[in-house]
Structure 1
């Protein structure tokens, strides 16, 4: 399995952009039409300026009155152009905000729809970078670039057409001189995509190194890996620096070249226009008007050049954001028509994280519907790995893990949650109300159901909150680890799966609270299957059966009384734990 998310190709990015533009086509059309009117109004001023020059040179009639009328007309159309351009940008920015929100929501939906096996094995930095840096750059581009690029493009086209209609010879001269701008853009665009993809990728690598180092800080310190992690960080920073220097080099070539190329049309028209005027082939007013048009063309073209550079980075980010849609079909599982029963069966399951060494060896286990099974063993025995296989987060490379005869790992995420939920000691509290934190598990739940779920896990603290279920967590109050874990357990009660896997889910609770929570869960989940990864043997004592793990092997399976009487590994663990002063 790839450890990197895919990147969308140019065709896919163009298709996504067309869809996003089409989703709000009225605004796009509005921007084009209003800005077209603004550009048309902007053409009148330079044309009137040429008329003023020709009127003054003719010197016939009431020249002063004619010039005043023409000057007033130029001022009026300049004001109209300004108002229309402001209106076009207003429409464009509103379109950008809506489209940016649409892109973020689509990214979130695709992220939540990732198969657990894919999401769980991805480098943290890659997903973080796509959801933060890349999504923000795409949103900024859609908010700003789309309206500004549309405005600049329409304005430039109107100016070019105006020069051609004014005098074909001067217009063609200006277009020929613009070929230098086209050559600069073509040279840049052909080299920019891989460079900016490298910039985004190396940024994600830095984020991954930082996140993984921070998450495993204690392990790094205990194993003396500080130097290796420092070297990894320095290597990723060096790669990022090289990628950014490559992008900088492209810019240092593009912008000087384009600045020179943008000045050529004005120079060319002045030279050719001056020669034509000297031979009485064109009026001075026409030359001045054409020159002003081409001078005005520098503005929109300069805007386009600036955005072309930024659009390369945004295009790379867009490709990374849209890349979530390209998860290989093999990773996406079709919905199973039905699952025949709730029995969980593990047959000769072998599993390896790296492929080099198995951490589970030939596990055979059948969990009956409604059974409460405890899995015990020393640290590193394979308890949590077995829990991941039972929850469908991983697939054994030999053997099978099935529910009702259907491989657990083949169930799509939404269907899997209807059958099995794994809850660990890791939990998350969203900065929102208590109610909304719980409704994640069951959006249709009533307040009475929310109260019952909290009561079921012993979370009596909600009664003391200032606004009850409407209390904002993270703002009005902050939950301690134990309360946050109870909130997480309450979500499981609301989700109401037929099988619940608890992987040391009560590890952060004190022994008394933990036992109360486990008893409450047992009462609420009566008739359902509960598989508990037990780090307290009292949990195992209350189970129907106990599975004992050692070094990746299932070495014992039976009731508490049977295993204690046998005096095998579990019996020895029980005697040792029961002899401790703090054991109940």
Structure 2
């Protein structure tokens, strides 16, 4: 927070100065009203009262103008600060390793970037300035009471111990409670997002009841965490509201006693009571915003927590051009600790077309992630020449190695925008050629060509079209090594075959590693690696493996027949 405020020091000082001036102007009215009471008691004329009344009106007007401009300056500062916070959040998220982003899930990151950032915005724009200024107002108001009479000032503090005690009780419990509420909300968002995105699968597999049960469990947890925070607020506000009346009643009682003994004037007692009545509003703001501050700082922790995850480290080495991709003794396990890969040894020669085949669950996609440098093996190494893939600069690694999976994203924007992600300087002609190369015949039907809007509310691409768009990006990116993890799975067999041959022609001379269930891909490859139970059981050309009569031959004959 200090860093965020420090970047806008002038704006913060202006807001503080305006609010402080408004607070000082607000002190005049109760004091002047007390003066009116004393003047009337002393037999002053109407003219004196009118002058004091006009002065009160002037002070109220000045206070209103100063408060209005203070709020205006505060909101401008807050919006700038939140905009910067959003940009930094996106930068930090994009700097994270891909594996971390995948483990976090879209729902969690979406909640942090929307709900949490919005809550932080309210905290920066409203909560912090309000609490700071309200605290200053309280100091000035109680100071004014002490100036009227020290004993009245001491009596005015009678309600603070109970407020302090309940606030301390609340703060000790609020932060973990609101963090739990934020986590539960993120889980619910994740559940709703995945259910909506997989609606067709849910319908096809008749999983509606299971997804409803799963969602209901998440809703119940959100309800439980919100009920817990509501219980905290209920106890907190009940005690606070009861504490407001104590100092006013005490000042009137004690002030009446002092008045009869001649220690204070009637105007001083009236002014003190009005100051206390006036103090309720800033004190109420502080206590109300204390609850919002707990939400805000919990959200702040979730937003800034992304920055606590170590970013993808900068490259410490560079790999020589034309070096082979070498895997030696690679072992890898996910969070459950069970090894998925067991001592993989593999050398992919430059310009080679290698197919990796095997049953589902054999570890093909995991091996692809290691080859692309998304994950690092727990044991062994994956190197380009003598350089570990994960030691390459992330930008260089992505230029050299591209991993294309079955999951493709169509960004909201034009077709040109979607293609330009891969090659910002690509001409329209290059973009059209890339679409032709992957057999994207649907391009000819677009009403505005490359300027056609895609995404929600515009032209929706089907799964096969989105896959071809991703492959067209790949052609434009033109990496040294291409890893296709079932990248044509959404295409029908004929289109997939035509697309793979077109890609092979376009990417001549590039290293291509294809993970495929369609064995036509393996037939066309220079070599085939058969993966079973996390190990390479066979390695050779298609014809060599068929003649060997092993697992690959059985797969080929089963598929071919």
Q: What is the TM-score of this pair, normalised by structure 1?
A: 0.86
1:467-478 to structure 2, matched below 5 A, reads 467-474=448-455, 475-478=457-460
Q: 1:336 aligns with which of 306, 316, 319?
A: 316
- 2:250 alignment partner in structure 1: 268
For 1:553, the equivalent position in structure 2 comes to 535
Residues 435 and 174 from structure 1, CA distance in 2 versus in 1: closer, same or farther, beyond 3 angstroms? Answer: farther
Deviations 1:27-50 (A, max 9, x none): 222211111222222222222212
Deviation of 1:215 after TM superposition, in Å, equals: 6.8
1:46 aligned to 2:46?
no
Give, in angstroms, the shift of residue 228 of structure 1: 8.0
- After superposition, the Cα gap between the structure-2 partners of 1:445 and 1:362, relative to the gap in structure 1 and judged at 3 Å, is same
Match of 1:439 in 2: 420
Q: What's the counterpart of residue 5 of structure 1?
A: none
Residues 454/163 of structure 1: CA separation in 2 closer, same or farther (3 Å cut): farther
SS of the aligned residue for 1:359 comes to strand
Q: Name the counterpart of 1:393.
A: 374
**Cα distance, 1:446–1:95 mapped onto 2, change above 3 Å:** farther
Which residue of 2 is the match for residue 466 of structure 1? 447
Deviations 1:275-330 (CA, angstroms, capped at 9, x unpaired): 22222222222221222122111111111111101211221121122111222x5x
CA 1:222–1:33: 2 relative to 1, 3 Å: same
TM-score normalized with structure 2 length: 0.90
Residue number in structure 2 paired with 1:8? none
Q: Does the 8 A contact of 2:317 with 2:391 survive in 1?
A: no
Question: In 1, are the aligned partners of 2:328 and 2:345 still within 8 Å (CA)?
Answer: yes
Residue 79 (1) aligns with residue 79 (2):
no
Once structures 1 and 2 are overlaid, which stretch shifts more, 152-161 or 98-107? 152-161
Query: What's the CA shift for 1:504?
Result: 0.9
Within 5 A, what are the aligned runs for 1:212-223? none
Partner of 2:10: 26
Bigger shift: 85-94 or 337-346? Answer: 337-346
Q: Which residue of 1 aligns with 2:469?
A: 487
Q: Distance in 1 between matches of 2:404 and 2:250?
A: 73
- 1:34 to 1:431, Cα distance in 2 relative to 1, 3 A: same
How many residue pairs match? The answer is 559
Pair 1:380-2:361 in alignment: yes
Provide the C-alpha distance between the structure 2 equivalents of 1:402 and 1:36, rounded to a whole number of angstroms. Answer: 63
2: CA distance, partners of 1:123 / 1:98: 28
8 A Cα contact 1:96 1:147, kept in partner = no
Aligned equivalents of 1:232 and 1:578: distance in 2?
Answer: 41
- C-alpha distance in structure 2 between counterparts of 1:99 and 1:547, whole Å: 53
Per the alignment, residue 552 of structure 2 pairs with: 570
Give the SS at the match of 2:489: coil
Q: Could you say if the C-alpha distance between residues 481 and 236 of structure 1 is closer, same or farther in structure 2, counting changes exceeding 3 Å?
A: closer
**Is 2:128 the counterpart of 1:146?**
yes
1:424 Cα deviation from its structure 2 partner: 0.6
The change in CA–CA distance for 1:127 and 1:530 in structure 2 (over 3 A counts) is same
| Aligned residues of 1:20 and 1:99 also touching (Cα < 8 A) | yes
Q: CA RMSD in A?
A: 3.0
Q: Which blocks of at least 5 consecutive residues in structure 1 are unaligned? A: 1-16, 580-584
